[in-house]
Amino acid sequence: MVSCNLLITKFKGGLIVKRLIGLLLTLCMLSAVLIGCGEKAPTGGQSGDSSKDVAGAENTPEATGKQENGKGEDKEAESQTADPLKDPYGLPNDLSAYPLKDNPTLTYWWPIDSFQAVATKDMNEQEVWKEVEKITGVNIEFQHPAVGQETEQFNLMISSDDLPDLICQSDSYKGGVTAGIDDGVFIDHSEIIDQYAPNYKAFRESDEDRRRTTMDDKGRVLGFYNLSPYSEWMWLGALIKKETLDKTGLPVPETMTEWYDFLKKCQEAGYDNPLNFDASSGTVWTGLFCSAYGAQDWIFINKEGKADWGPIQPGMKDYLAEMSKWYKEGLIDKDFATRDYNSKMAFLISDACAVSIESPDTLWGTWKEQNNIDFVGSPYPVLKKGDKPTTTYKHWKNGGWPTSITMECKNPEAAARFLDFGYTAKGWELFNFGLPERTHRIDESGMPYYHEESAMWTDPDKVPLSHRIWKYKIHQGPFIREEHNSNPMLVSPGSYSGQIRQMWTEGTDASPAVPPTSFTSEESAREADLSTQLSTLRSEIFLQIIMGQKPIEEYDKFVETAKSMGVQEWLGIWQAALDRYNAR
Amino acid sequence: MATAQRFEGWRDGMSVWKTENASSGGTIVTAGQQGGPAMIRNDFRRNWKVYVMALPVIAFYIIFCYGPMYGLSMAFVDFKPRLGVFGSPFVGLRYFKEFVTGPYFVRLVSNTFLLNLWGLVFGFPAPILLALMLNEVGNRRFKRTVQTITYMPHFISLVVVCGLIRIFCASDGLINSIIAFFGGERSPLLADSSYFRAIYTISGIWQNVGWDSIIYLAAISGINPELYESATIDGAGRLRRMWHITIPGIMPTMTILLIFAIGGMLGSAHEKIILLYSPIIYETSDVIASYVYRRGLQEFDYSYSTAVGLLSSIINFIFLWFANAAARKMSDTSLW
C-alpha cells in the first residue's frame, strides 16, 4: 500500500516537474518574443545606469569644490552669473532673457546613434544639458528613438500627428528642411529668430557663408545650426610613416614626380605596396593626387565660376595613366578596391604600408597610440613645384545638425529663446567645454581649456577618448562650435594631428569647392537619377583602368558615354541650384 | 439495421463515408455532391475547432500581407511621408519608365537573373545530394555529426560570412595562398567580375546546404521502409534504390521548392551582394536591388524603389505561374 502510494506520488511528482519545466520553457520563448517589441525612450532599465552617472557627476564637483574653496568659489561665482566672458571671438552674449519665467517645458526629439550611445544613452541625464536647462529655466523632455532605427523612426514620427516641439537633425526630412516647411511640418524660422533669438541672428548674419548655408532659396531660415566662427580644418590627406623618411633618405614629397620616386624608394626599402590608396571610386573625394592634374573628384567650380564635372576634365586621363602605372608596379595596395574598414586598418599597421590616406585624428589613435608609429602629413601634391594645390573640400562654417521648431510647438517663443542660448558666449563655453571646474578652466586670453584634473582626461568609466565628446560636452547640436580647441583628440598633450590639419587647410586652395546648394523637388529626382548613373559609370571605368583590366583608351569612350547619358543636362541642374544659392 | 456512418472526407469532389457495420465495415462513396455554402456549413459544424485555430493565421495574412498592399500605389505617386500615400502628387508611370529606359536596365536584369539561375542550377541540387548521401550512411552517430556540422554555418550572421569571404579572397588570403602554392599568381579575387558568380554561389551553398537538406531528410524519412526491403529482395543495388524509391519519394517536396525558387528569379538577397561587391565588379554583381539601394541613398526615394519592386514582383509572379502550370502538367504536385 505504502509503496503504491509512494509510486503514485513519484509518478505525480515526475509529471508535475515535467509540466513545470514545460511551462518555464514556454514562458522563456514568450519573453523572447516580447523583447522584440519596440523600445521607446529608455525608461526603467536605462535609468538604472544613468542614475549611476548622475551620482558620479554629483560627487566630483562637490569634491573639487571643497578642495578649492577659496579660489574656486570666486571663479565659480563668476561663471555662474550672467557675466559676459571675454572670449577670443567677441561672441554675442545677450543673456537678458534667462532664466525664462514660468519654466516652460518643451519636447525635443534627438536621435542617438551608436557613436553617441557609447558615452550617453539619454540626454535627459547628460550633465551639460542639465546645466543648460538650469540656466535657461526651460525644462526639456528629450525623446530618443531606438539606436540604429533613427531613419525609420524619424519618418514614422513625421507621418504621425504627434510631433514634438523641437527636432534635431531636421535635415533628415526627404527633400530637406525646405520641403518640410512647404509640407507644413516645420515653421519658417525667420520671424521667430528676428524677435526672440538675438544672439543666433547676430552670429548667423555676421558671415556670408553662415548666413547662406542656414537658409533656403526662398529666403527662409531653416533652423538652428551647429555654426562655427571659422572654416574648420581639412581632415583627410596623405600621411607618411616617419620611419620611411629615414629609411629612404628622401624628404616629404611635394610634386607627383617626387611622389613616384618616393614610393619606388619605399618599395626598395621593404614596403611591398607602400600606398594605402583609399579611393573606392578611383579618385580620392577631396581631390588628393587628381587635383594636381587639374581634375577634381566630382562636381567643382571651375575658373569661370561655373559648375563643372571633374571626371571629364582632360587632366583626368593623365591622372588615370599615372595611377595605373603605379598599380602595375606594385606601388599601390593590390586590394585597395575591395578592402573594408577593418581590413584597411589591418593593412595600415602592417609592414607593407608606408603611406596612408586617412584622418590624422584617427591615425593618432591607430598608429601612434596603439602601435607607436610616428607620422607626418604631406601637403597636397602638384605637378610643378611651387604651385598651390586645390581641393573641393571646404568647411562652410556650418557643421550641420540643424534643430527646427515644428508647427505643433505651442510655445515657439520659448523654443527660440532656449535654442538661442547656444549662440551666446556662455553657451559656447558650456556646450564645447563642459561644466566649469569639473571639465574646464579658462585661461588669460579667455579661451577655455581642459586642465589636468579635468573629467575629460580622468574619466572614471574608461570611455574611449574619442567618445568622451558626448559625455562631458556636446559634440554637435544647436550652438557655436569650437572644434579646434575643444576636441580632445586635437588638444590632447603631444598630439600633432591638429598641426597637420592646419598645414593642409592653409596650404591648399579651396576655391573649387561647391557650396551646399538645394534642389527643387522636380529637379531632385532627375538629379538623383543621373547622378547614380554617372557615379556607377565613373567608378566602374576608373577602377578598371587603374587596375589594368581596361586600357587607358577606354577613358575616351567613358567621356562619350557620360555625354550621351546627359552630363550637360545634369550640370545645368547644378548650375541653376548654384545661381539660386549665390542670390540668397 | 442501424448503420453508423462516419464522414471521412472529400475526395475528387465527392464525400466519402465509412460505415461502422457489425457485418461489413467498409467505405461507401456517396455520389451526391453538396453545394458550396452548405458544404462549408456542414464542415464547420463538425470541425469548428480547426477553423478557430486557423483564424489567427488568416488574420495575420490579411493584416500584414494583403492590407499593406494599398501601399503599392506609392509607386504611382511622388511620395512624401507627411502627405501620405493618397495625398502625394500623382505621377503615373514615371518611375517605371525611368527604370526601364535607364542605361543599366538590361545589365541589372540579366545580372539578377543569372545570379539566381546559378543558384538554381548549382544550389538547388546540392541539399538534395547531401540528403541522399546522408540517407545512405549507416552509422547513426556519424550521420548526426555530419548533419550538425553542415547546418552550423546557417546560423553565422551574413555580415560575418561576408567578412570572412573578403579576407579569404584578398591577395594575401587563404584562397590565393592555395593558388600560389600550385604556381598561380595572387590577385584580389573580389576585383575580378568573372569570379563573382562563382564566389557568391559557392559561399551560398556552403552556408545553406545543411539547413536546406533538413526538409529533404524529413521527406525521406516518410518513405515506407517496406519499399526498400522489397527492392533489396528483388536485387536492386544502392543506386537503383535511390533512383527508383528515394527520389520519387521526395519528388513532391522537390517540385514545390523548385516552384518557389523559380518564383524568386528576379529578386535577390541584396544584403550579401552589397557586402561583397565593389564598383570594379559592377558588371556581374550589380543587380536590381543593389542599384536601387544606391539610388535610394541619394534621395530616400520610396516611390522609385516601390515601382521597381512592383515590377520585379509582377515578373516573378509570371514565372511562378508558368512553373506551377508546368508542374501540374508533368506531375501530381503543384501549388494550385
In a domain, B241, yes or no: yes
Cell numbers that stand for B300 in this block:
530616400
In a domain, B88, yes or no: no
Q: Among B67, B87, B114, which residue terminates a domain?
A: B67
Residues B134, B24 within the same domain? no
Per the listing, cell 561644466 goes with A435
Q: Work out how many domains chain B is built from and give that number.
A: 2
Rounded CA-CA distance A278/B163 in Å is 18
What residues contact residue B113 under an 8 Å CB cut-off, 6+ apart? B265, B266
Rounded to the nearest angstrom, the minimum Cα separation between A326 and chain B is 16
For the entire predicted model, the pTM comes to 0.80
Fold exhibited by the domain A237-392+512-582: D-Maltodextrin-Binding Protein; domain 2 (3.40.190)
C-beta of residue A190 within 8 angstroms of C-beta of residue A220? yes
Asked if the Cβ–Cβ distance from A184 to B82 is below 8 Å, we say yes
End-to-end CA distance of chain B: 43
At the top level of CATH, the class of A48-229+398-429+466-481 is alpha beta
Does ipTM surpass 0.85 in this model?
no
In a domain, B72, yes or no: no
Tell whether A520 is within 8 A of chain B (Cβ): no
CATH classification at residue B230: 1.10.3720.10
Asked if the Cβ–Cβ distance from B103 to A528 is below 8 Å, we say no
Tell whether B278 is within 8 A of chain A (Cβ): yes
Per the listing, cell 563573382 goes with B196
In a domain, B19, yes or no: yes
Which residue in chain B has the smallest CA separation from A279? B279
Q: What range defines the domain where residue B177 resides? A: 96-330
The one-digit pLDDT tens for each residue of chain A (584 residues) are 555 555 555 555 678 888 888 898 888 888 877 765 554 444 333 333 333 333 333 333 333 333 333 333 344 444 443 344 567 888 888 888 888 888 999 999 999 988 898 888 899 999 999 999 999 999 999 999 998 888 889 988 888 878 999 999 999 888 889 989 988 899 999 999 999 999 999 999 999 999 999 999 999 999 999 999 999 999 999 999 999 999 999 999 999 999 999 999 999 999 999 999 988 899 999 999 999 999 999 999 999 999 999 999 999 999 999 999 999 999 999 999 988 888 899 999 999 999 999 999 888 888 988 889 999 999 999 999 999 999 999 999 999 999 999 999 999 999 999 999 999 999 999 999 999 989 999 988 889 999 888 888 888 888 888 888 899 999 999 999 999 999 988 888 888 989 999 999 999 999 999 999 988 878 888 898 899 999 999 999 999 999 999 999 999 999 999 999 999 999 999 999 999 999 98
Rounded CA-CA distance A261/A279 in Å is 21
Q: Is residue A449 within a helix (H) or strand (E), and if so which, with residue range?
A: strand A448-449
Asked if the Cβ–Cβ distance from A337 to B279 is below 8 Å, we say yes
In a domain, B83, yes or no: no
Residues B36, B165 within the same domain? no
Convert A324-353 to b/e letters by CB count within 10 Å (16 or more is b).
bebbeebbbbbbbbbbeeebbbebbeeebb
Distances (CA, A) of A163 to A112, A142, A275: 18, 13, 50
Asked if the Cβ–Cβ distance from A540 to B282 is below 8 Å, we say yes
Residues B56, B120 within the same domain? no
pLDDT tens per residue across span A271-322: 999 999 988 899 999 999 999 999 999 999 999 999 999 999 999 999 999 9
Residues B118, B222 within the same domain? yes
- Same fold: A48-229+398-429+466-481 with A237-392+512-582: yes
Residues B259, B324 within the same domain? yes
Rounded CA-CA distance A436/A406 in Å is 33
Residues B34, B162 within the same domain? no
One-letter amino acid at B208 equals N
Residues B101, B60 within the same domain? no
C-beta of residue B78 within 8 angstroms of C-beta of residue B88? yes
Rounded to the nearest angstrom, the minimum Cα separation between A159 and chain B is 5
Domain ranges of chain A: 48-229+398-429+466-481, 237-392+512-582
Cell numbers that stand for A501 in this block:
590639419
Phi, psi of A234, rounded to the nearest 5 degrees: -60, 150
Residues B54, B172 within the same domain? no
Kindly give the pairing relationship between strand A355-358 and strand A307-309: unpaired
Tally C-beta pairs within 8 A across A and B.
Answer: 97
* Secondary structure of residue A533 in the 3-state scheme: helix
Asked if the Cβ–Cβ distance from A529 to B295 is below 8 Å, we say yes
Task: Give the nearest partner residue to B170 out of A180, A343, A524, using CB atoms.
Answer: A343
Taking contacts as CB-CB distances below 8 angstroms, the residues of chain A near B294 are 532, 535-536
Find the largest Cα–Cα distance for chain A: 110
Asked if the Cβ–Cβ distance from B103 to A524 is below 8 Å, we say no
Identify each DSSP E strand in chain B by its residue range.
4-11, 14-20, 26-29
Beta-bridge mates of residue A186? A406
One-letter amino acid at A19 equals R
Tell whether A338 is within 8 A of chain B (Cβ): yes
Residues B60, B107 within the same domain? no
Taking contacts as CB-CB distances below 8 angstroms, the residues of chain B near A525 are 78, 299, 301, 304
Q: Among B18, B50, B67, which residue terminates a domain?
A: B67
Rounded CA-CA distance B174/A361 in Å is 33
Kindly give the pairing relationship between strand A448-449 and strand B4-11: unpaired
Residues B36, B152 within the same domain? no
Q: What is the DSSP letter of A312?
A: G
Which region, left, alpha or beta, applies to residue A175 given φ > 0 means left and ψ of -120 to 50 means alpha?
left
Residues B290, B181 within the same domain? yes
Long-range contact set of residues A250-255: C-beta below 8 Å, sequence gap at least 24 = A252/A376, A252/A378, A252/A379, A253/A378, A253/A381, A254/A378, A254/A379, A254/A381, A254/A382, A254/A385, A255/A292, A255/A381, A255/A382, A255/A383, A255/A384, A255/A385
Residues B106, B32 within the same domain? no
